Amino acid sequence: MNVMHNMTRLDFEAHQDAIVVIPVGSTEQHGPHLPLGVDSYIAQGISEILATKANVILAPTLTYGYKSKPLSGGGPLFKGTIDLNAKTLIDLVYDILCEFARDGYNKIFLNNAHFENQAYIEEAMDLATAQFPNLKVVQSNWWDVLDQKTVDEIFSDVKFPGWALEHAAITETSLMMYLKPDLVRTELIPEDVLATALPYSVYPARKEMVPECGVLASPKGSTAEKGKLIVDKAIEGFLKIFDKEFK
């Protein structure tokens, strides 16, 4: 595995043809049972496994992300969620992409595990590829590459609440049980909780919009086996993207 932070300059130069994988997460509350670093741990954990299966350089994880929203993570209603403004995230990702491009690394994959980051990463991608015509950048995430059969299997014993309410629920809890089991407080997993999705956004956010525990749907039914299934399918999907976009 080519972990960039562990490589010397000469090691790095010797892998000029590799795909650079940048895990992107956030620092955000994930209820009473999961740590603030869930999105970053998931992005990094999946990327580490991916790096054992393809010719990639694993870049350092970006552990801060765009603002968590009240009905997708809790947002400003919970302490411990440390957000970036849109311009900050765009500039950060743009600068990193440009630096890799200047060094001659023109195949970059952003493995994003925080939904709210997506639009601002894409803005940075657009700006950077306009600046460097030889640069190709792809962004994806673990949930968009899951097929319906896999989703049905994960939620075979409980009702799927929809991706909008899956914050700190079965998928993320299962992923953490598989990738970082020592950080899951299973005894604090909340039950019988379900937020109500709204067809609009409102600010300032009101506390009653989000369940007091900070979880949007019950994580009951989470297992490490489900987490492994998600990881395996994500890796499979990412490798297909590599074959299509980076050959």
- Out of 33, 83, 114, 166, the active site residue is 114
- Out of 30, 33, 83, 166, the active site residue is 30
- Out of 5, 17, 33, 39, the active site residue is 39
Rounded to the nearest 5°, which phi and psi values hold at 218?
-65, 135
- Out of 33, 83, 116, 166, the active site residue is 116
DSSP letter for each residue of 178-190: HH-GGG--GGG--
Tokens 């994003």 appear where? 112
3-state secondary structure 81-132: CEEECHHHHHHHHHHHHHHHHHCCCCEEEEEECCHHHHHHHHHHHHHHHHHC
- CA 198 and chain centroid, separation: 23
- Out of 33, 83, 166, 172, the active site residue is 172
Residue 202 CA to residue 189 CA, distance in Å, equals: 28
- Out of 167, 191, 225, 245, the active site residue is 167
Residues 6+ apart with CB under 8 A from 100: 20, 59, 108, 135
Scanning the chain, the segments in alpha helix (DSSP H) are 9-13, 38-50, 86-102, 118-131, 148-154, 170-179, 224-245
Annotation says 123 is catalytic: no
Annotation says 167 is catalytic: yes
- Out of 28, 33, 83, 166, the active site residue is 28
Residue 204 CA to residue 64 CA, distance in Å, equals: 22
For the chain, what's the residue count?
247
Annotation says 28 is catalytic: yes
Annotation says 5 is catalytic: no
Annotation says 30 is catalytic: yes
Q: Looking at the annotation, which residues are catalytic? A: 28, 30, 39, 114, 116, 167, 172
